Amino acid sequence: MARRPLLEFEKPLIELEQQIEQIRQLARDSEVDVSQQLLQLETLAARRREEIFQNLTPAQKIQVARHPHRPSTLDFIQMFCDDWVELHGDRRGSDDQALVGGLGRIGDRSVVLLGHQKGRDTKENVARNFGMATPGGYRKALRLMEHADRFGLPILAFIDTPGAYAGLLAEEQGQGEAIAVNLREMFRLRVPIIATVIGEGGSGGALGIGVADRLLMFEHSVYTVASPEACASILWRDAAKAPEAAAALRITGKDLLSLGVVDEVLSEPSGGNNWAPLEAGATLREALERNLSELLALPPQELRDQRYRKFRAMGRFIEPTSTNADSAS
């Protein structure tokens, strides 16, 4: 069995992982009872892993959020969603693979699900554009959200992107306008919206599907106005200062919860979601069902008013001080 990839700060676990694998191989090749030794080593590895992950720096949390084995949008949907049917296209000639969505059921509730989708390897990442959606992706998301509003279906959004695609073609096709329209239109929707940052939530690419009644976030996910590398390049003209930028940006769940940006931080298994994806899926499903039950009890107008108040409180809007008529007079 291939050893799972370890991040740089997990290197103290390498020797233990190798010993555990050697003992497992011995058990497979012989009739020697090594269960006691195996249990001791696995307990020690779990304890050390827990110690490491309880004291992660913001820069280290970014590594966890970007881990190639971290569960993706489609992974979570397949874990807890029944009768999932993916819908394609923005009805304007585009079907962006970096942003997926469709219809499904969680328990006895029909919902619309959408989210960013990265790849597992280089080939899949290229096909998914590394989770960076083009204007067509955000227009597809809006089409699905309007479908949800028309038929009274709650919307579940999963955020995992370094940012919207900033290529020349995306700009020519109206990237900024597509995201801005999504921000505006999500405020008028009459159905509950729950967004969850499952990995990396970067800039306007995350906000394009992130206007929600409840914003959840996994413990080792990050949510930021700009990547630490970009921030360091702008402030210090040195991307190597990304760890300092990550600390200054306050991008972790603990910081964002204290600032009132997110509503709930979901705990992760020891070692992160990539170590126990099914456990992570169960945690996410419980949180979604609980928050959905609370939001479905509210009338549509109260949902929209609450959504607007929430984002004003987060400082996402600047109240105009005067109208054009006032200025003219």
pLDDT 10s per residue in the chain (329 long)? Answer: 445 677 878 777 777 777 777 777 776 767 666 677 777 777 887 788 888 888 899 999 999 999 989 999 999 999 988 889 999 988 888 899 999 999 999 988 999 999 999 998 899 999 999 999 999 999 999 999 999 999 999 999 999 999 999 899 999 999 999 999 999 999 999 999 999 999 999 888 999 999 999 999 999 999 998 888 889 999 999 988 999 999 999 999 999 999 888 999 999 998 889 989 999 999 999 999 999 999 999 888 888 888 888 777 665 443 444 444 444 33
Within a 10 A sphere around the Cβ of 245, how many other Cβ atoms?
25
Cβ–Cβ under 8 Å, residues 113 and 101: yes
3-state secondary structure of 195: strand
The reported pLDDT for the residue numbered 4 is 65
Within a 10 A sphere around the Cβ of 99, how many other Cβ atoms?
31
Tell me the whole-structure pTM to 2 decimals.
Answer: 0.86
Token pair in block for residue 14: 């390498």
Distant-in-sequence contacts of 74-79, Cβ < 8 A, 24+ apart: 74/100, 74/117, 75/277, 75/281, 76/158, 76/198, 76/280, 76/281, 76/284, 77/104, 77/113, 79/277, 79/278, 79/281, 79/285
Residue the block writes with tokens 């690419």 = 205
